[in-house]
Chain A
């Protein structure tokens, strides 16, 4: 049997100040680590939830987003003939020809302009997005200069509230409604009548055609047919895929930045843990000699100090995760790099992130503790005992 666990635990408790300081260093690193993952997870969640697996987005080939895409009326008409498109209860096809324009509007409070997505929609657009709900007012009437704003826009942009007026495309637009799109990217959009917006922005083509599938399993078939049609120069993506592709670049960037920061910080924390553990080994040299004399093996001594160091890491990890969990109450707005529009999302703590953070903190503990534990295990008994 090994040296009891309580021996390691109580030694940490006995030198609580050092323990707390060392664990705090690790907690800071775990905080940065977890925050990065939470940011990427939040971003991904927001963008992926924006899409629905039943919907297909058709955009011009090689245009990564709706903003850069153009689908002319002729092409849109061809797409409308696809048999896999679902039909709504009113007998109309669940298909919307939309236009997406990026404009700059002043924010509330600061007057600083920021990019917003303006989406020209058709009557079916709302039906295609069950995650979007009108919470106040009414939909823009076709042929009018009326718009509705996502809650995030209403809150953060000047003139975005219901009854207020926004100016863009050389016109004044009255906000006649607010919609709730949960945590999806639609929250950061303004919707108006597609034809009115095409006139205002002098754009003769749609940005995208979105339709609901009768059956989601038919996607490969319709994709192949659309992409092979010689009259069309478009690509079809599942809506979920379309939005997750958009989050990719941002998530990758955040990941690289976060991991670089984490790596630099973790060097400090690991060195901190190592210094603490070396000091612990030096202070307890006589104890180590005694344990060895009593018959405990080198391995047992090694385990004692590794355990201490792992406990330090665990404490740091738990503290770091605890603190980072408060980030969930924060909403971040950032530029969506693919569309250059504002995107609001929150840090999201997932079970995976908790596990990864704990594993990372234990790893730091292990790395910091391994050399000191080795020194402890290698000590000569007689020399160790002489230090008492």
Chain B
């Protein structure tokens, strides 16, 4: 895999700190973290359990707030957005891929993928086109009327990926996307993510414990005791 030159930073983190209060004790989780992510990057974030990977990812995705520092994504300083604006921003800019897929069990694959589009102004017809395209990318057009319970774990994760990309977001965030999958399904999902990155130029930030998953990324960063170390490959 060849490393492309960085044209533009899509994510820029400055002096980010976050700590949790545990009783009377303050437990620092992230300490003065500063780094950038290039547009079109496929970044793997690794590190021991409890090192703050998920916390960092959640802050980049705009579902958690830092104590201090600035986070700029796609030119927007999200650390200064109000809750309502942040929700709106997420709907447009972030695609989520979760460890346990997090599909709505009562909605079909089609309806699950359509869900984020309900927050856009698209017409029903336009939504249908987008959903069908997204399901085609993950190769599940023939399963669109299936409910999550009628799909395998790998298929569910592919539906979740379709849901993440259907709005064409600025960044894709994935927390342990293969953590709940068998080897074959994991390969499948990783292959798909690699394709999204290569063919569609998606910027992906993936938290993982799995070295095989990290191999697919262009860049691996390690987080240890709240401090980020660079270890580009």
Contact = CB atoms under 8 A, between A and B. Distances in A.
A89 B190 CA distance: 101
A293 B100 contact: no
A91 to B, nearest CB: 78
B223 to A, nearest CB: 17
B8 interface: no
B91 interface: yes
Contacts of B133: none
B42 interface: no
B98 A297 contact: no
B63 A294 contact: no
B106 A294 contact: no
A2 B115 CA distance: 9
A14 interface: yes
Interface residues of A, number: 25
A382 interface: yes
Nearest to A2: B118
Contacts of B100: 286, 388
Contact of B102 (A7, A290, A297): A290
A287 B119 contact: no
B216 interface: no
Contacts of A130: none
21 contacts: A2-B118, A3-B115, A4-B118, A6-B111, A7-B107, A11-B106, A14-B105, A287-B102, A287-B105, A290-B96, A291-B115, A292-B87, A294-B96, A294-B116, A295-B91, A296-B91, A297-B87, A381-B64, A382-B58, A388-B99, A388-B100
Interface of B: 58, 61, 63-64, 84, 87-92, 94, 96, 98-100, 102, 104-107, 111, 115-116, 118-119, 163
Interface of A: 1-4, 6-7, 10-11, 13-14, 286-287, 289-297, 381-382, 385, 388
Given A291-B104, A296-B91, 6 more contacts: A10-B106, A293-B61, A293-B94, A388-B99, A388-B100, A388-B102
